[in-house]
Structure 1
């Protein structure tokens, strides 16, 4: 079993793509997770920068903004096809809405599955606040009823939604850890989907809880001879990253934290 590590474009949007990719490659990453624009010219800039630096792409869909379901579904299909046109390794999708019905969100999952079958590109659905899989108990229900559903495991959101470290939701976590197609290694806590800094001793319990879940995912990949686990070290900028009052200065370095997570996980899983 091999692990590939990806750096998020989120937080570096103002950095030239060539410079960004060179920095990511030199840091030891295998690729970048990023949205893809509709313009072929803009796509080419991204894909050339990735190729020139030997990096892979995970496409990212986050534009689930439309309240009307039919409009939402139409734009979902459009955006997934744009992402698929760039031929990424896989697509991470923040699918659906927490206020859509089970049947509506299930319809979106089915749409994504059809696009995946047509293009050959796996699509994983993120356990993200405000989306279809916004909470552990909701995700559990979907995963029991849709056994082929693959998730992007970002359990930091589930911690935030439940105001806990999910101590009383073991069954949901156990099933979720067997359905992971992609992993976001961000550490959350009861009041936020991102701790200030995982290196701080006051967040030791949160880090250890997330590492325990990630250990379970890695073991499932090993036990079932799954070939490649992809991980994005997805600590983000503001508003996930706290900024100091009035100065607008981040309280920590997004880059440094993600590099810390990269080295921590490589040391833990890639010996």
Structure 2
């Protein structure tokens, strides 16, 4: 990508309606914001960078990044919140910070089910959802498959609970040995694709908000096997986007 304008024009030509990304570099911020307006693209902000192991440092950086993202007035912020090794109380204090910033800025913050974070697995996420009924998730169930080494057949109640709290979907297909299959269109991954589609179907059926957003999220190496060409990432995301547009008859405007 040589410029944001080149990137935006490329995704528009292939049918995307928005972008999900982290804070643009300071020197690119104006170009980024002007490009969103020029192409009529929706913007979901993503926070993932905060990884400090000391809670005080982590919380300070977390709050600073959320405030900077909120200042760009995205649809909402998708946040990688907490650490898997933080205590219940520590992760709750970060969720409290997010809730406070949400009230201060008017920008909604949803929390991704991601490895290494507070919601790294189905069974550990359930208590947070039960005690915090207001908590909203970005459902990336592919991570839970990798952690549990299964398609979560033995945890349907927890998966269904998470679906009821889902406000955004990351549409990547995982399997028992990883968070991303090589190619979701291949027959050997049909069972994994069917599981994810079933989860996403339930989210679409259950969702009561104004706009349900979905980000196809097949990633580059190391998510993608090293032997595959770089363009496979693009092809996989296009495959999922078109599959879901057809499946849900999504608004094309």
Q: TM-score range by the shorter chain?
A: over 0.9
Output the CA distance in 2 between the equivalents of 1:110 and 1:38: 28
Within 5 Å, which residues of 2 pair with 1:128-147?
A: 128-147=114-133
For residues 180-224 of structure 1, give each alpha carbon's deviation from its aligned partner in whole angstroms, at most 9, with x where no partner exists: 111100000111100011011100000000000000000002xx4
Residue equivalent to 1:3: none
Query: Is 1:149–2:135 an aligned residue pair?
Result: yes
Output the CA distance in 2 between the equivalents of 1:153 and 1:201: 24
- SS of equivalent residue, structure 2 residue 212: strand
Residue equivalent to 1:240: 223
Q: Which moved more, 1:208-217 or 1:50-59?
A: 50-59
Say whether the 8 Å CA contact 2:220–2:230 is kept in structure 1.
no
- SS of equivalent residue, structure 2 residue 46: strand
Query: Is 1:105–2:91 an aligned residue pair?
Result: yes
Residue equivalent to 2:112: 126
Output the CA distance in 1 between the equivalents of 2:231 and 2:5: 25
- Structure 1-normalised TM-score? 0.89
- Structure 2-normalised TM-score? 0.96
Gaps of 5+ in 1: 1-13
Residue equivalent to 1:33: 20
Gaps of 5+ in 2: none
Residue equivalent to 1:44: 30
Note the C-alpha offset of 1:15: 4.3
Say whether the 8 Å CA contact 2:24–2:32 is kept in structure 1.
no
Note the C-alpha offset of 1:64: 2.3
Query: Is 1:231–2:231 an aligned residue pair?
Result: no
Note the C-alpha offset of 1:251: 6.9
Find 1:54's aligned residue among 34, 40, 50. Answer: 40
Note the C-alpha offset of 1:37: 3.6
For residues 63-97 of structure 1, give each alpha carbon's deviation from its aligned partner in whole angstroms, at most 9, with x where no partner exists: 12101011000000010011011110010000000
Q: Which protein, 1 or 2, shows the higher relative CO under an 8 Å CA cutoff with sep ≥ 6?
A: 1
Output the CA distance in 2 between the equivalents of 1:43 and 1:238: 26
Residue equivalent to 1:78: 64
Say whether the 8 Å CA contact 2:21–2:44 is kept in structure 1.
yes
- SS of equivalent residue, structure 1 residue 177: helix
Note the C-alpha offset of 1:26: 1.4
- SS of equivalent residue, structure 2 residue 164: coil
Residue equivalent to 1:115: 101
Residue equivalent to 2:237: 258
Within 5 Å, which residues of 2 pair with 1:3-42?
A: 14-37=1-24, 39=26, 41-42=27-28
Within 5 Å, which residues of 2 pair with 1:143-222?
A: 143-221=129-207
Residue equivalent to 2:54: 68
